[in-house]
């Protein structure tokens, strides 16, 4: 007897017949075509095997009639062969293919942020009320000088009210900086992987918040030109959409070496997602797969990287250059080389960072948590006396304002968010981004789906989220008795580890709670 499949549906779609208004909206809303309309019964019929649990139908059902449940099979208990492993074997036995997934690593590795606790002022060190006193959330990303030369000539105006400080003049010429009004920016997500309306929403939000969005590796659509002062343009191994005008359009350029969700491998955007607009933006043929190689074919050493960094600086009038690297085992040594190569910003991407598509084996088993990467890189750059030469951006696993504060206390200058920004736009983290069927109009190029995301509404969602986080960060700073976000950077003494072993604490440079 030949079986068609061993694979049971992952979810069960349950429709309450009493509550169903027979409107058919679920049939229209589902990007995965879970529902067909039964004309005879005038009811929707779900195909459970197609459901991704994106909850679009649940959200828009006017009768609140739909429930999506896990379809739990009662496997015999095994600590070795979990139900997920058994199903993965069945899938590969059927297809002979590499398992693909979207979004970030969801495996139960230690979540270090959740084992770090922040300090607060009591009695002898006064806290600050952020509602009554100024709290500086602005931060600058870029190379800082080794020392400052200040002219105080004309400052000793005896008998006048002009103080030396007021008349001082900075003589040192500073490198160009990115000015952020909040220590939160948006990580690279390429047009093609996400829809143009996602890019529009993030660009508008970045401009309103006084921060930056990042194009990812798919080029810059012409519609985003009004926001270019708040856009970092990315130059990745595929060089999609890269020419001089693109490089000059952004406030900064980012060289993407690696991505936290898939360190060491390139990217693959299937031809179905390369429509006309994506093809002209990426400068590639329509309908053909876009493959970005694992390495940059012109970078095999720190010296090669230096050449590209300075080529980009010269092409852009010395705008800041960021280098994005995945958090891997020797990330501190690599970051040191990146800084010595001339990068103004080191963007560290932890293994919980999102992706539009990745082999599951890479996403789930390669890389390091961002907490480890930030702490080790910050310490290494301090030990080598070059911490001032580059800013550190922490990304790949930033889920909340508390994570931002902890990442900065561990040594970051700012954080970048990706997945949570998409969640603010409606993403339900179903991890099926690679299918191109996203019902929320986020990770898809299908026009009937992308038009569901109104960029202005999306921008307001993201602005609200970042403003809320910024208020929360100010509250925490006040409790810590710190009045500027830059003063928190690398203040590991304000963190304590709870439930972390001594080895992890030593790597983080954090004391155990109670000590």
Whether 341 contacts 313, CB under 8 Å: no
Out of 13, 65, 180, 381, the only residue in the binding site for ligand SF4 (CB under 6 A) is 65
Q: Smallest gap, in angstroms, from Cβ of residue 63 to ligand SF4?
A: 4
| Residue 411 touches ligand SF4, criterion: CB under 6 A | no
| Residue 345 touches ligand SF4, criterion: CB under 6 A | no
Binding region for ligand SF4 (CB under 6 A) out of 342-350, 359-367, 438-446, 450-458: 438-446
Out of 137, 251, 427, 474, the only residue in the binding site for ligand SF4 (CB under 6 A) is 427
Q: Smallest gap, in angstroms, from Cβ of residue 217 to ligand SF4?
A: 17
- Cβ closer to ligand SF4: 47 or 175? 47
Q: Smallest gap, in angstroms, from Cβ of residue 247 to ligand SF4?
A: 29
Query: What residue has token string 């856009």?
Result: 231
Closest CA to 398 of 339, 451, 338, 354: 354
CA distance 232 to 220: 10
Out of 6, 14, 24, 506, the only residue in the binding site for ligand SF4 (CB under 6 A) is 24
| Residue 13 touches ligand SF4, criterion: CB under 6 A | no
Structure tokens at 149: 């030369």
Binding region for ligand SF4 (CB under 6 A) out of 440-448, 452-460, 479-487, 504-512: 440-448
Out of 112, 372, 398, 433, the only residue in the binding site for ligand SF4 (CB under 6 A) is 433
| Residue 428 touches ligand SF4, criterion: CB under 6 A | yes
Supply the Cα-derived Rg of the chain in whole angstroms: 25
- Cβ closer to ligand SF4: 116 or 433? 433
| Residue 82 touches ligand SF4, criterion: CB under 6 A | no
Q: What residues contact 4, with CB distance under 8 A and at least 6 apart?
A: none
Out of 30, 51, 102, 230, the only residue in the binding site for ligand SF4 (CB under 6 A) is 102
Out of 103, 128, 377, 505, the only residue in the binding site for ligand SF4 (CB under 6 A) is 103
Q: Smallest gap, in angstroms, from Cβ of residue 84 to ligand SF4?
A: 18
| Residue 443 touches ligand SF4, criterion: CB under 6 A | yes
- Cβ closer to ligand SF4: 26 or 251? 26
List beta partners, residue 101: 358
Out of 357, 429, 465, 485, the only residue in the binding site for ligand SF4 (CB under 6 A) is 429
CA distance 121 to 114: 21
Out of 61, 202, 309, 323, the only residue in the binding site for ligand SF4 (CB under 6 A) is 61
Q: What residues contact 82, with CB distance under 8 A and at least 6 apart?
A: none
| Residue 442 touches ligand SF4, criterion: CB under 6 A | yes
DSSP letter at 431 equals S
Q: Indicate the pairing of strand 511-512 with strand 495-497.
A: parallel
Q: Smallest gap, in angstroms, from Cβ of residue 30 to ligand SF4?
A: 9
| Residue 198 touches ligand SF4, criterion: CB under 6 A | no
Give the helix, strand, coil percentages of the chain, each rounded to 5.
35, 15, 45
Site residues for ligand SF4, 129-188, by CB under 6 A, read none
Question: How many residues touch ligand SF4 (CB under 6 A)?
Answer: 29
Out of 11, 30, 34, 44, the only residue in the binding site for ligand SF4 (CB under 6 A) is 44
Structure tokens at 15: 């429709």
CA count, 13 A, side-chain hemisphere, 186 = 36
Q: Smallest gap, in angstroms, from Cβ of residue 208 to ligand SF4?
A: 23
| Residue 463 touches ligand SF4, criterion: CB under 6 A | no
Out of 25, 268, 340, 382, the only residue in the binding site for ligand SF4 (CB under 6 A) is 25
Whether 268 contacts 240, CB under 8 Å: no
Binding region for ligand SF4 (CB under 6 A) out of 267-275, 372-380, 436-444, 485-493: 436-444
- Contacts with ligand SF4, 272-311, as mask; x by CB under 6 A: ----------------------------------------
CA distance 225 to 207: 12
Q: What residues contact 227, with CB distance under 8 A and at least 6 apart?
A: 203, 204, 206, 207, 213
| Residue 420 touches ligand SF4, criterion: CB under 6 A | no
Q: Indicate the pairing of strand 178-180 with strand 139-141.
A: antiparallel
| Residue 23 touches ligand SF4, criterion: CB under 6 A | yes
DSSP letter at 27 equals H
CA distance 330 to 282: 32
| Residue 63 touches ligand SF4, criterion: CB under 6 A | yes
Q: Indicate the pairing of strand 213-214 with strand 231-235.
A: parallel
| Residue 122 touches ligand SF4, criterion: CB under 6 A | no
Distances (CA, A) of 274 to 233, 277, 444: 20, 8, 10
| Residue 438 touches ligand SF4, criterion: CB under 6 A | yes
Beta-carbon count within 10 A of 221 CB: 19
Q: Indicate the pairing of strand 391-395 with strand 43-46.
A: unpaired
Q: Where are the alpha helices (DSSP H) in 263-327?
A: 276-282, 302-316
Out of 278, 440, 459, 461, the only residue in the binding site for ligand SF4 (CB under 6 A) is 440
Whether 335 contacts 389, CB under 8 Å: no
Structure tokens at 7: 């694979």
Distances (CA, A) of 27 to 20, 44, 47, 62: 13, 7, 11, 13
Residues that bind ligand SF4 (CB under 6 A): 15, 20-26, 44, 54, 61-63, 65-66, 102-103, 422, 427-433, 438, 440, 442-443
């Amino acid at each position: 007897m030949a079986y068609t499949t061993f694979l049971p549906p992952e979810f069960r779609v349950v429709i309450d017949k009493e509550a169903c208004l027979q409107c058919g909206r679920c049939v229209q809303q589902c990007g995965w075509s879970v529902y067909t309309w039964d004309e005879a019964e005038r009811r929707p019929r779900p195909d459970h095997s197609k459901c991704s649990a994106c909850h679009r139908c649940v959200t828009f059902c006017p009768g609140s009639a739909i429930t999506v449940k896990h379809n739990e099979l009662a496997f015999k208990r095994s600590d070795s062969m979990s139900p997920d492993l058994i199903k993965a074997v069945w899938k590969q036995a059927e297809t002979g293919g590499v398992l693909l997934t979207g979004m970030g690593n969801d495996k139960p590795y230690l979540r270090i942020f959740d084992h770090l606790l922040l300090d607060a002022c009591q009695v002898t060190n006064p806290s600050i009320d952020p509602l009554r006193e100024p709290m500086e959330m602005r931060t600058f990303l870029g190379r800082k000088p080794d020392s400052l030369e200040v002219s105080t000539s004309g400052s000793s105006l005896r008998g006048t009210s002009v103080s030396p400080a007021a008349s001082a003049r900075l003589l040192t010429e500073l490198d160009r900086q990115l000015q952020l009004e909040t220590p939160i920016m948006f990580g690279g997500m390429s047009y093609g992987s996400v829809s143009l309306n996602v890019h529009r929403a993030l660009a508008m939000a970045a401009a309103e918040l006084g921060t930056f969005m990042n194009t990812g590796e798919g080029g810059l659509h012409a519609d985003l030109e009004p926001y270019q002062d708040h856009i970092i343009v990315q130059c990745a191994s595929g060089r999609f959409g890269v020419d001089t005008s693109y490089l000059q359009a952004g406030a900064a350029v980012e060289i993407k070496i690696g991505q936290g969700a898939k360190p060491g491998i390139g990217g693959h955007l299937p031809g179905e997602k390369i429509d006309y607009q994506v093809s002209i933006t990426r400068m590639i043929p329509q309908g053909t797969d876009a493959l970005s190689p694992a390495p940059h074919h012109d970078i095999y050493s720190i010296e090669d990287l230096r050449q590209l960094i300075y080529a980009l600086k010269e092409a852009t009038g010395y705008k800041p250059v960021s280098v994005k690297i995945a958090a891997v085992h020797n990330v501190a040594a690599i970051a040191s080389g990146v800084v010595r190569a001339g990068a103004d910003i080191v963007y560290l991407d932890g293994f919980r960072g999102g992706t539009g598509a990745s082999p599951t084996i890479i996403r789930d088993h390669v890389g390091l948590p961002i907490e480890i990467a930030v702490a080790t890189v910050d310490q290494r750059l301090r030990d080598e006396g070059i911490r001032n030469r580059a800013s550190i951006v922490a990304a790949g696993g930033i889920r909340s304002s508390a994570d931002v504060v902890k990442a900065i206390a561990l040594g970051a200058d700012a954080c970048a968010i990706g997945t949570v920004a998409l969640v603010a736009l409606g993403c339900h983290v179903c991890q099926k981004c690679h299918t191109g069927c996203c019902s929320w109009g986020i990770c898809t190029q299908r026009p009937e789906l992308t038009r569901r995301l109104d960029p202005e509404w999306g921008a307001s969602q993201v602005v609200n989220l970042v403003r809320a986080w910024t208020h929360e960060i100010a509250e925490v700073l006040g409790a810590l008795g710190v009045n500027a976000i830059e003063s928190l950077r690398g203040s590991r003494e304000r963190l304590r580890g709870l439930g972390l072993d001594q080895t992890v604490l030593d790597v983080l440079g954090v004391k155990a709670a109670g000590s």
